[in-house]
Amino acid sequence: QARSIIDDLVSGKETSTAVVKSIVDNYIALSQEETYAWQHEPETYIKKMDSENYNPDNIQPRATGIDLLICMVERDSSDCVAKVLTEMRKSLLLQPQMDPNVVLAKDSCYRAIGEVMAKVPDCIEPKGWFRNELRAMLASDLLARFPMSIMKARALWLTGIVVNQLPYRLWVQALELSIKNLHSDDGVVGLMAVTTLTALVSGAPSLLPPPPTMHTNAQTKHMPQHTQWRYQSS
């Protein structure tokens, strides 16, 4: 019966669009209590977010809403959920970016996209998204203070999600910008930067260029003297 309900949710575009928007707006969006904790008790806020991510028995509204989104994605052969979220993002980008209400709406939409990307990696092309938007958000001084800093923290979180899809050059930029944000005056941004750095470093081995080829004495014997020294002393 549960599977039948999910199938009904994703079978019609209008129905699935309404459900996705309702989840994003009513379940994933930050509450007043959370924005207060963000400003006054950043460690408490981060712990709450971690409990939602890693507690398999979590029945909090946001975690339940995200679970429902993912169930819809898994049952949706037409990628309707991903399309609705990308359309929501495009619409939000056309609105005043400094409006606190737009910031909160963007944060919940981008959180939903990040969660869905685990199932639909090309929901938004990761390399292009980092290059064209996330990178600028990480570097922007306009996002230094609350509530604008909400989007800087979200950009850090998303960078941690797309890290394995970034080429080496963009990975280096993400690393440098994350280190910069460790010193943010916003406690949540600083703590999120730590989490993102952990993801970046964990993904580093697959991104780093290969070590230089080691040459044997027989190979270096016929090289110019300065070239032999460079290999033999490495």
pLDDT in the model for residue 69: 86
pLDDT over 70 at 7, yes or no? no
Please report the pLDDT score of residue 117 as a whole number. 87
Burial of 226 (0-12, 13-18, 19+ CB in 10 A): exposed
* Residue 137 and residue 152 in contact, taking contact as beta carbons nearer than 8 Å: yes
What confidence tens digit (pLDDT) does each residue in 29-47 have? 999 999 999 999 999 998 8
- Per DSSP (E only), the strands in 12-126 are none
State the maximum Cα–Cα separation within the chain, in Å, rounded to a whole number.
Answer: 77
Residue with tokens 């290969």: 210
For residue 196, the model assigns a pLDDT of 95
Q: Letter for the amino acid at 154?
A: R
Per residue in 143-202, pLDDT (tens digit) is 999 999 999 999 999 999 999 889 999 999 999 999 999 999 999 999 999 999 999 998
Q: pTM for the whole thing?
A: 0.81
